[in-house]
């Protein structure tokens, strides 16, 4: 092994200590709990400065305090362009131009189409789809100032297929997928990448209600990987897609669904060793 001079040693040590998002500004919507909180923790661990954007002020501020100087909370209703402008301004004021946006905020409502009230439909579409559009629109100028960036839209396996009794949710997630591709085409020359992530069943507060818990558990039993994912497993994909490691990917779907899109797994029978 060749002898390393002191400057070379220092360079290698510096390279090893660098993290994927050192000094970058990240906004995570729905960041106060569930997957969003896991994403915020993951980015901070990778050196980022994170804006936890949510309507849940108590939980969001508690998480920001836990994460220390690398995190702040900003109250954000994702359906409000005024709130979006204030959140981006807060991010720039405290940390500098935005490099990463994770459009994670979302809701689900259950019921057949014939029994879904128009107000419920509009609420789901406004948060899951219009909120994503407003987020992209709000950060473009800041990302241009940063020299580029990455936008990660959290869609769903339901953005690749149909689920019964969740028409508004499925429509919103298919819409987010299409929006992702159009934004990727428009923003690529600004060095801004836009991709979507499609989780399967995940253990979060959104899936903790009685209707959701039963539906998620039933789905998980038939997966190739027959369990519900933990939020941190989705975070690992988010970090990869937002990082320079995925620098040649834009307008793409990244699937992390335990095999939902494969269809139901066949019954599993352990093969017994043959007896001589």
The domains found in the chain, sorted by start residue, are 21-255 (3.40.50.720)
Chain centroid to CA 207: 16
Q: Which residue has 């969003």 as its token pair?
A: 36
Task: Give, for 33, the enclosing helix (H) or strand (E).
Answer: none
Residue 117, pLDDT > 90, answer: yes
Are the C-beta atoms of 149 and 183 separated by less than 8 Å? no
Residue 8, pLDDT > 80, answer: no
Residue 13, pLDDT > 60, answer: no
If pLDDT is split at 50, 70 and 90, which confidence band does 227 have? very high
- Of all residues in the chain, the percent with pLDDT exceeding 90 is 82
Q: What residues are labeled active site? A: 169
Residue 229, pLDDT score: 94
Question: 35-48, pLDDT tens digit by residue?
Answer: 999 999 999 999 99
Residue 7, pLDDT score: 60
Are the C-beta atoms of 67 and 60 separated by less than 8 Å? no
Are the C-beta atoms of 103 and 132 separated by less than 8 Å? yes
DSSP string, 50-81: EEEEES-HHHHHHHHHHHGGGEEEEE--TT-H
Count of alpha carbons within 13 Å of 40, Cβ hemisphere only? 33
Q: What counts of helices (H) and strands (E) characterise the chain?
A: 9, 7
Name the token pair of 228. Answer: 């519900």
Residue 276, pLDDT score: 45
pTM attached to this predicted model? 0.89
Average pLDDT over residues 51-69: 98
Residue 20, pLDDT score: 96
């Amino acid at each position: 092994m060749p002898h390393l001079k002191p400057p070379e040693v220092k360079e290698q040590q510096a390279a090893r200590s660098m993290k994927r998002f050192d000094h970058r500004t990240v906004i995570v919507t729905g960041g106060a709990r569930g997957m969003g909180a896991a994403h915020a923790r993951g980015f901070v661990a990778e050196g980022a400065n994170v804006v936890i954007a949510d309507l849940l002020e108590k939980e969001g501020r508690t998480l920001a305090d836990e994460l220390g100087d690398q995190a702040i909370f900003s109250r954000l209703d994702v359906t409000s362009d005024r709130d979006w402008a204030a959140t981006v301004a807060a991010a720039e004021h405290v940390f500098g131009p935005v490099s990463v946006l994770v459009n994670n905020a979302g809701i689900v409502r259950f019921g057949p189409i014939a029994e879904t009230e128009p107000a419920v439909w509009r609420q789901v579409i406004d948060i899951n789809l219009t909120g994503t559009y407003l987020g992209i629109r709000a950060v473009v100028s800041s990302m241009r100032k940063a020299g580029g960036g990455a936008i990660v839209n959290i869609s769903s396996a339901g953005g690749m297929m149909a689920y019964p009794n969740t028409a508004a949710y499925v429509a919103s997630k298919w819409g987010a997928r299409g929006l992702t591709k159009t934004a990727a085409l428009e923003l690529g020359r600004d060095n801004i990448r836009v991709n979507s992530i499609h989780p399967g069943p995940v253990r979060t507060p959104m899936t903790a209600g009685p209707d959701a818990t039963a539906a998620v558990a039933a789905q998980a039993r038939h997966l190739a990987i027959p369990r519900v994912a933990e939020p941190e497993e989705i975070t690992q994909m988010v970090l990869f897609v937002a990082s320079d490691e995925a620098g040649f990917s834009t307008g793409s779907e990244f699937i992390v669904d335990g095999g939902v899109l494969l269809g139901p797994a066949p019954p599993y029978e352990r093969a017994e060793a043959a007896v001589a």
